[in-house]
Each structure stands twice: as C-alpha cells, then as structure tokens.
Amino acid sequence: MKLANQVAIITGAGRNIGEEAAKLFAGEGAAIAVVDMDRGRAAKVAGAIESAGGRAKPYVCDVSQEDQILDTVKAVAADWGRLDILVNNVAISDNKHILEITKAEWDRVLAVCLTAPMLFSKYAAKEMIAGGRGGKIVNVSSTSGHYGRTRAIAYTSAKAGVINLSRSLAIQLAAHNIRVNCVVPNKIGSPVGKDEFNPDRKVVNLRNRPGEPIDLARAMLFLVSDDSDFIAGAELFVDGGCAVMMPGDG
C-alpha cells in the first residue's frame, strides 16, 4: 500500500473529486479526514470508506472561517495522532462578469479558493513539523488559473493565485521535508459546486472525453506517494491535453 499508516485531510471530500480521492487514498492505507461543510455528505463518504474496510471520519468545516480551519486540523491530529497529507480540493465559483460581480461574491470565492488553502497549509504544516516526519500537500488549481474566461472573474483570479501559492509553499516548507505540488484540472466530473455530472458537457481536449474524478484522484495519489519523491513545486496538468491546444486550430 502506498499510503500505509498515514493520515490525510481532504477538503471538499463529500462529493465529486474529493470523494473519489478520499476513497482511493483509503484503499492505499491512509486514514481519511473527510472534510466538508455538509455534515451529511461527509458522513456518507466516511461511512462508505469504513464499510469497505478503510479508516475515515467526517469533519464539518466552513473553510472560509480561519477558526474552523484551525479547529479541524487540531481535531484531526488529536484523533489520529499524526498528519501526513493535505489535499486542498474545495472550491466554489462565481460565474460572474466583472460588471456584475459584487465585492461580497468576490470575497467569498477568494476566501474559499485561495485563502483557505493558505490557512489549511499553514496549520497542517505546523502539525507535520511537530510530528517530525515531513508531509505532502497538494493544491487544486484549474486551467482557469492560466486563462481568462467570459463568465468568471473571482474564480480565475483565485485559481491563478493557487499556482503561485503552491510554488511559494514548496520553497518555504522544503526545509521541513514537506513537499508541495499543484494539480491543474479542466472540466473534471461535475461543475464546481454541483452534484450532477452531465456526460454531454462539451469538452475540447486530446482525449475526446470528459474528465472523471478518478482521473484527478490518481494524479493526487501520485503526488502524495513516494513515487513522486523528487517532485516539488510542480504543476501537473490533468486536463486531457486541452491546455496545449491552440484555439481555432484545425
């Protein structure tokens, strides 16, 4: 097992990509802190993992609140006795034009998509350092962090910030044997913040299919396992190759 006896926090783990990563990591031996704002979703995923023979526990957290982030990290470390892995997966989108978005909407998206990964990384890193074993952090950005969009402004800005946040975290935490990397998906699973997956959702990529949550979960597993021990501060595109395509080509 690639993650035997390790403890992982996965945010937004009550559905979609986070749920798939939680189940995959658990299958590789990790104990999973299933973090979600929805208690029912978190409990359902944790229960499914335990029913399959794994170890998991639900944790309810509004990631826009620093005190709840700190309490969650401390609770996980206390419950499991260690912390080895953090996946900052949770996200929301504004889907707004600059002429429509309010400051409150802007602030909420940045709080969830950019400030929360910073705070979770800060407090998780402190626990990892205290444990003396190092650790691994994976942040989830998006191809929207590299390109502008017609119907989102806060989300694109936040996801761009996640990329450089990951680089800076990788540099600053390297001395503590904490590896930090970033994954860059495109239209994987359900749209951000939604439960429903539409198999007919239009995608343009080199694989000619929509991305599925397991596609990103496997990339995350690689980045938190010893298979990627010599990789730090990297962006791993899990986008079916869409980012290498020139618009209008062909």
Q: What is the CATH number of the domain that holds 118?
A: 3.40.50.720
Q: Does a structural domain hold residue 250?
A: no
pLDDT at residue 238 greater than cutoff 70 = yes
Which one of 59, 123, 147, 155 is the catalytic residue?
Answer: 155
| % of the chain surpassing 90 pLDDT | 90
pLDDT at residue 250 greater than cutoff 60 = no
Q: Does a structural domain hold residue 126?
A: yes
Q: Whole-prediction pTM value?
A: 0.95
Q: What is the mean pLDDT of residues 136-157?
A: 96
pLDDT tens-digit map of 200-216: 678 899 999 999 999 99
Q: Does a structural domain hold residue 1?
A: no
pLDDT at residue 22 greater than cutoff 90 = yes
- What single letter denotes the amino acid at residue 241? G
Q: Please give the pLDDT value at position 79.
A: 98
Q: Does a structural domain hold residue 127?
A: yes
Q: Please give the pLDDT value at position 246.
A: 74
What is the average pLDDT score of the chain? 95
Q: Assess whether 59 carries a catalytic annotation.
A: no
Q: Does a structural domain hold residue 2?
A: no
Number of domains in the chain: 1
Q: Does a structural domain hold residue 249?
A: no
Tell me how many degrees the CA angle 150-108-92 measures, rounded to the nearest 5. 60
Its domain, for residue 99, covers: 7-244
pLDDT at residue 198 greater than cutoff 70 = no
pLDDT at residue 190 greater than cutoff 60 = no
pLDDT at residue 28 greater than cutoff 70 = yes
